[in-house]
Structure 1
């Protein structure tokens, strides 16, 4: 496995690859990441995994400084997964000067995560576009757990005519349903037992909608109240149209329910397609 930190070195290394897949990560890898890599390897012989904690997508009060950085452990996992190329640049490589060119995003970036983390998706879109330009893959794999992010990346690729196929990787879950996430390691043992309640709340909504309930607002409110009573602080639980990611109407068929909530100082997100 080759660990590359420089842009020109990476481009030279990839120059003769006939077909290339890309999996962007912020490191602290787990089975969810490895499942994305497995999908990438099924499509292409050559796979590049990036490891970079992107300052642009953290708000000033968020956990940029304490976000887990585990490069050595990550590389062991990637080597075991037979990944041949890891791109692990530092900030000065990707941001040699202040990043003043930033994308203007559509209204879908200002709801859900965008409402509670203003500027987050601008930071995501900027770093993803930079990495696409550097690596120039044929396809890229993004996890479905970050549902809104996946939607925005797809729209960016479509509207900017970027010749990259975007593949959605299914959310990998623990046995109790908790979506795997690097931030799960912030949870205490007691909190970890409670954490599956977010998934359970979304699952309850999904089951109610499947059986015919169309009162989406009542379902959302009930789920929020359930979590609040258990000590959670809920940012949102909301049912949306899968195609537009706008709030769902009663006549909509293809739906997704998304949630984000705090368990003490740890923020968890999840979603389920309906």
Structure 2
């Protein structure tokens, strides 16, 4: 697997800056986020990536399908599919959404995800883009992702053709699951993206920023990476870090360390 830099790892960077730093450090792929892409303009952003000779490993992120406004959610995700096409990637990562405000109906939220994925899958299929469901650690179930395990994501994905709905294996979110290895084997060709970062302790006050550089925490990357490879995945390994100290550091320092860690893990 080749290295891809997820843009969030250098969160303060514009798309142009992220593309430039990837090129300087010999990284051939980038995981693009929609907000900086739209800041630059989708057509200009796509041209920046192409002109640098980079490929886009994924577009982050669509999803947030559990709210009350169905049409707004569907329209935003159709725009995200169009943006993925413009970037030349077939992978749109979906963070499916948490509980709606003032709701405790977890089963209902999960059903909303399934219903809205069914609405989006034909549009994605016609565009040649896979909706990649990202299961998230249970600490994010209330506010970000009501799919908490890879098996849950696969239960939903498998109701659709594999060229339309797939899954993300993100080490931060799945490493703890006692069924993660058989779930990865089950996923097989439905693995659309492999994202890596480490689980560090103690957790910071904002648990969203607990994602460390590989090697700084508790995750067994060799075992998980081998399982993903054995399942047949041949795409990029996308390093995606959410950590205040990493975000505050100079971009070149961070990316140089990412390259070094990737070579040694």
TM-score by length of 2: 0.30
Q: Which has the larger radius of gyration?
A: 1
TM-score by length of 1: 0.29
Structure of greater relative contact order (alpha carbons < 8 Å, 6+ residues apart): 2
